[in-house]
Amino acid sequence: MAIHTVYTLSKDDPEARNWVAFFHRHGHTQLSRITIERVFWLEGDVNVSRLHPLLINPLYQVGSERSQLDPAQGPVVEIAYRPAVTDPETPSILEGAHALGETGLLFARLSRRYQFTGLEESEARKLASRFLYNKIVERVREPGELVETLLPSGRPDPVTEISLRGLSDQQLQALSIERSWYAPPAQMKAIQAHELRRGRPHTDAEIEILAQSWSDHCYHTTWKSLGLLKRLSHATAQINHPLVVSSFKDNAGGMEFYDGWVITIKGETHNFPSSIAPFGGIATKHGGVIRDTLGFGKGAYPIGGTTVMGTMDPRMADDELPEGALHPQLIVTESIRATSYYVNPMGIPMMHPVYRIHPGYAKCLALGHSIGLIPARHAVKDSSQPGDIALLIGGETGRDGIHGATASSTGMTGATLEKEFAAVQIGHPITERRFTSALPVLRDAGCIRAITDLGAGGISSAAGEIGADTGVELDLDRVRLKDASLTAWEILLSESQERMLVVVPLEKLDEAREILDRYEVAHVEFGRFTDTQRLQASWHGERVVDLDMAFLWKGCPIEPTAVIEHERPLKPLLIPEPRTQAEWRKAVESVVSHYHSCDQSAAGVRFDTTVQGRTAIGPYGGRNHRMPTNLYVSAPLRGKPYGMISTLAFNPFYGEVDPAAMARLMMIEAVTKAVVAGASYKEAVLCDNFYTPRISPQTAWELSQMVDAIADFSVELGIPFISGKDSSSGTFESAGRKIDVPMTLAVMLMGRVPDVKKIVTKEFKRAGNRIVLIGPSAGDGLGGSVYADTHGQRGDRLFNPGTSSEVRAVWNAVLALHGEGRYVSGSAIAEGGLLLRLFEAAFGSGLGARIDLDSQQAARSDALLFSEFIGAMLLEVSPEVEKGLASLEIPHQTIGEILPEPQLLVCREGNTLWQQSAAELEAVWSKPFREVVE
């Protein structure tokens, strides 16, 4: 069929201008201009001029049949999606063209042509490959390339049988690696024994299903082996919290809200794909965790999300970069672009955009959370019944994401970047958005018996899990494909995004179809639940999978994991105390401008924080809406005062010093941030996300210590974990170097408050008010601190926050003060210590503060100002209220007062140690992150 082209140029192109500025900052000053031309490739019998209203707006675009770029103006690099990959915009172009009456248009593709004026061709290509496209899903179109058809085409490989009979251990292992199963020896032997027992070889599809179902990513073999999953769920069961509706069973955890509603929480990491292809990896990180919310109970609605990134320092020199790793600046900037690309169109407010660094994150941390809302009566799934229909809804199935589960369970090497390219998915938020709108309607009409998302392991994992108690029979020929060359096992394992499996009672099928059609959600009945207790699938008239559910879900051998107690080689801190005003200035500025303390709103403003009209307090607040609030509060039920509050704690430095102590501190930090805002810890739940190096006996010991610590502590505090995820694959190997991630635990809190209007925020409110520090005293809190990091040190111990009853007593005292309305601003001490909180509160209010250290215990002034004494809080009270605090039995001290002018001042024994204007600090605080991302 004929292929037409339309080239369009925009008369005004900020993107092109900003790329030039970006490349100039990267030293390519000879580049004088970038021109971006778009190309539409249109296949079919069409009158192209009738498509112009769709493709060209003559007010600012010029369209033509041939390229408008003058070759003399510099080299052109044309970038297009690979032939097997569908452009995200293709369906919209087809729909628009058909509406214009051009029904002869069969298919459309797009490409982008970048002209680099002032650069050599080789340099242009180098920049394009580093910054402008992702070779895993896109490619450079060479000039003069012939195109026969735009339609995805191909022929599938047949299903084959693979016999393991008689293979030696070595041969089994070699086969496991060659086929990218990454199954450990014991699993290969179990599959071999199963073949002998049932008397016939497995098909390739069956072994693929077993390998991915038993992967660490899906089966949590490491955690099961160490008994950690049970440890946490037992702690939660022991707490028996009256508000917990669902914990550790479903795709997310659920907590009772108000008026018959439940709120849900889930956190999910997507570290491996984000490390090799950050744009796709991060986009699908969000897509996936949002589907966990949609797949909770009979379908919750997402009302909040986060993006939490841990990378190496984006400012690192190119020659320090480990071979085979992507530059962290690229990971950070691409992640921001991807979060914006995915979450904004989903219409989900951003709660916590957080970026942290650690030299161990060669394989980055890419964490996202999702909060959901669902009527309590729909919060628990029903069991699927024989005769129920398996409905596959959403996007088409392609080759993307194949082996994602097995590849992400293994360590990452330089070679992984090349070999597992298929493990990277591409996200199309519009497809997910369609069913996000439709699912509550489907649910409330009683059409959903159960629902789950298609994530790691794709169809086989979703159908296998949801049909585990009955059996399920799948007809793979019915699955809609975006790539005709997919064979059976690829259809079963594909991790193509934006698909969900809905279990529909047969009598509700017509109604379900009608609702999905109304919302333009593609759907296909591709299976039926049975009573065979088997996972069965047919394809091209053959039964290609016939596995016993019991073997699939219980047959995986869990090998014991060796555990060896281990002491970290740590050095005590050796930091000279600042002596002069100039030294103090330097110390303060280095803390305020540290990557972890600095203004990260250059990323944050790219994410919608107020969509859905539920947001009461977003991630940024204060007078100029740029002060980090460390909070997110929304009013999920429109017109009602009830609030959902969320806080987050994540600190990679602490994990390097003492993982178990860090785990406790992360819990206390998350809870204290909520308490100081006025939210009761008795109406809150937690979500844990672990990220640890590939398991060794030493890391296994440390991991167990961490889990023990939070399990015990949660019982002591009465605050349950109800959801979480673990990844034990944080090891990067390349050119003889092995880089482990730090022992990582991010804790997110979700709680409820009766009235969002009673939440207290951080910014100062009134000059003359007193600043009171309440809770544990600074003491020895510099270990793992930002301040220590500015001296290139970690220290040999973390802050000791005291016993659980001491911690709780402080929380109770502050909640009582809040109940009486006795403080007007408040914040929790965390990264950057007291000093950073003072600066933020001043910056957010236009006021200042004077701190007097005379009354302090701490021998060193820097220890008081920069200690991260987690559990302590800073409260602003009026002078009258301050007098009344004398009777408080909790440790507290008045440390200063609020000044009318935006100045910060620290005195000790009458001498001014340091004094600086908030504006000067703002200048250094605003800069570092902006320089990375703009």
Partner 1 sequence: MSRIAILYSPGTNCHEETAAAVERAGGKAALVHLHELLLGHDKLENYGAAVFPGGFSYGDHLVAGRIFATLMVARLRDQLTAFLEAQRPVLGICNGFQVLTEAGILPARRPGVRGMAMLENQSSHFEDRKVRLLVSGEKTMWTEGLAGKLLEMPCAHAEGRAMIPESGAERPRVSFQYTNAEGKPAADYPANPNGSPNAIAGVTDDSGLVLGLMPHPERASLPAHYSQDGLRLFQNLVRWLKR
Task: Output the smallest distance, CB 60 to partner 1, in A.
Answer: 6
Q: What is the 3-state secondary structure (H, E, C) of 595-615?
A: CCCCCCHHHHCCCCCCHHHCE
**Residue 615 vs 825, nearer CB to partner 1:** 615
Total number of residues binding partner 1 (CB under 8 A)?
61
CB of 476 within 8 A of CB of 411? no
Q: How far apart are CA 882 and CA 808, in angstroms?
A: 22
**Residue 35 vs 470, nearer CB to partner 1:** 35
Q: Which of these segments, 11-19, 311-319, 713-721, 779-787, binds partner 1 (CB under 8 A)?
A: 11-19
Helix, strand, or coil here: 813?
helix
Instruction: Please name which of 620, 694, 680 lies closest in space to residue 645, comparing C-alpha atoms.
Output: 680
Q: Which of 1, 39, 54, 890 binds partner 1 (CB under 8 A)?
A: 54
What is the full DSSP assignment across 537-552? EEETTEEEEEEEHHHH
The structure tokens 């600074």 sit at 778
The structure tokens 């200690």 sit at 867
Q: How far apart are CA 774 and CA 786, in angstroms?
A: 21
Binding to partner 1 by residue 14, rule CB under 8 A? yes
Binding to partner 1 by residue 26, rule CB under 8 A? no
Q: What is the 3-state secondary structure (H, E, C) of 8-37?
A: EEECCCHHHHHHHHHHHHCCCCCCCEEEEE
Binding to partner 1 by residue 594, rule CB under 8 A? no
CB of 114 within 8 A of CB of 128? yes
Question: Which pairing describes strands 534-539 and 542-548: parallel, antiparallel, or unpaired?
Answer: antiparallel
Q: Which of 18, 64, 163, 912 binds partner 1 (CB under 8 A)?
A: 18
Q: Which of 12, 65, 880, 889 binds partner 1 (CB under 8 A)?
A: 12
Task: Output the smallest distance, CB 17 to partner 1, in A.
Answer: 8
Number of residues assigned to the chain: 934
Task: Output the smallest distance, CB 430 to partner 1, in A.
Answer: 3
Task: Output the smallest distance, CB 598 to partner 1, in A.
Answer: 17
Q: How far apart are CA 928 and CA 700, in angstroms?
A: 36
Question: Which pairing describes strands 737-740 and 848-852: parallel, antiparallel, or unpaired?
Answer: unpaired
Q: Which of these segments, 209-217, 495-503, 603-611, 716-724, binds partner 1 (CB under 8 A)?
A: 603-611
Task: Output the smallest distance, CB 409 to partner 1, in A.
Answer: 32
Task: Output the smallest distance, CB 23 to partner 1, in A.
Answer: 14
CB of 475 within 8 A of CB of 526? yes
Q: Which of 6, 34, 93, 205 binds partner 1 (CB under 8 A)?
A: 93
**Residue 565 vs 755, nearer CB to partner 1:** 755
Task: Output the smallest distance, CB 812 to partner 1, in A.
Answer: 27
Q: Which of 509, 611, 809, 907 binds partner 1 (CB under 8 A)?
A: 611
For the chain, helix, strand, coil in percent to 5 are: 35, 25, 40
Binding to partner 1 by residue 344, rule CB under 8 A? yes
Task: Output the smallest distance, CB 617 to partner 1, in A.
Answer: 8
User: What kind and span of H or E run contains 553?
Assistant: helix 549-554
Q: Which of 610, 803, 857, 912 binds partner 1 (CB under 8 A)?
A: 610
Q: What track of x and - describes contact with partner 1 for positions 768 through 807 (by CB under 8 A)? A: ----------------------------------------
Binding to partner 1 by residue 604, rule CB under 8 A? yes
Scan residues 476-535 and list those touching partner 1 (CB under 8 A).
Answer: 518-520
Task: Output the smallest distance, CB 629 to partner 1, in A.
Answer: 12
Q: How far apart are CA 327 and CA 189, in angstroms?
A: 40
Binding to partner 1 by residue 375, rule CB under 8 A? no
Binding to partner 1 by residue 101, rule CB under 8 A? yes
**Residue 612 vs 698, nearer CB to partner 1:** 612
The structure tokens 């290969």 sit at 188
Task: Output the smallest distance, CB 166 to partner 1, in A.
Answer: 53
Q: How far apart are CA 653 and CA 757, in angstroms?
A: 35
Q: Which of 2, 17, 323, 562 binds partner 1 (CB under 8 A)?
A: 17
Task: Output the smallest distance, CB 825 to partner 1, in A.
Answer: 16
**Residue 343 vs 389, nearer CB to partner 1:** 343
Q: How many CA atoms within 13 Å lie on the side-chain side of 277?
A: 28
Binding to partner 1 by residue 73, rule CB under 8 A? no
**Residue 635 vs 722, nearer CB to partner 1:** 635
Q: How far apart are CA 682 and CA 56, in angstroms?
A: 58
Task: Output the smallest distance, CB 267 to partner 1, in A.
Answer: 22
Binding to partner 1 by residue 346, rule CB under 8 A? yes
Binding to partner 1 by residue 104, rule CB under 8 A? no
Q: How far apart are CA 931 and CA 934, in angstroms?
A: 6
Q: Which of 83, 96, 156, 802 binds partner 1 (CB under 8 A)?
A: 96
DSSP 129: I
Binding to partner 1 by residue 59, rule CB under 8 A? yes
Q: What track of x and - describes contact with partner 1 for positions 303 through 342 (by CB under 8 A)? A: ----------------------------------x--x--
Q: What track of x and - describes contact with partner 1 for positions 631 through 670 (by CB under 8 A)? A: ---xx--xx-x-x---------------------------
Residue 350 burial (CB count, 10 A): 26
Binding to partner 1 by residue 752, rule CB under 8 A? no
Q: How far apart are CA 304 and CA 888, in angstroms?
A: 37
Which are the contacts of 106, defined by CB distance < 8 A and separation ≥ 6?
1, 43, 44, 150, 151
Task: Output the smallest distance, CB 355 to partner 1, in A.
Answer: 16
Binding to partner 1 by residue 95, rule CB under 8 A? yes
Binding to partner 1 by residue 345, rule CB under 8 A? yes
Scan residues 413-452 and list those touching partner 1 (CB under 8 A).
Answer: 428-430, 433-434, 437
Q: How far apart are the first and last CA of the chain?
A: 44
User: What kind and span of H or E run contains 688?
Assistant: strand 684-691
CB of 530 within 8 A of CB of 386? yes
The amino acid occupying position 852 is D
Sheet architecture: strand order including 365-375: 244-246, 253-256, 261-269, 365-375, 301-311, 350-357
Kindly state the tokens that stand for 823.
């403080």
Binding to partner 1 by residue 607, rule CB under 8 A? yes
**Residue 301 vs 914, nearer CB to partner 1:** 301
Burial class (CB in 10 A: 0-12, 13-18, 19+), 162: middle
CA 483 to chain centre: 28
Binding to partner 1 by residue 5, rule CB under 8 A? no
**Residue 241 vs 499, nearer CB to partner 1:** 499
**Residue 653 vs 925, nearer CB to partner 1:** 925
Give the interface with partner 1 as residue ranges (CB under 8 A).
12-15, 17-18, 53-55, 57-60, 88-89, 92-93, 95-96, 99-101, 337, 340, 344-347, 350, 428-430, 433-434, 437, 518-520, 604-617, 625, 634-635, 638-639, 641, 643, 756-757
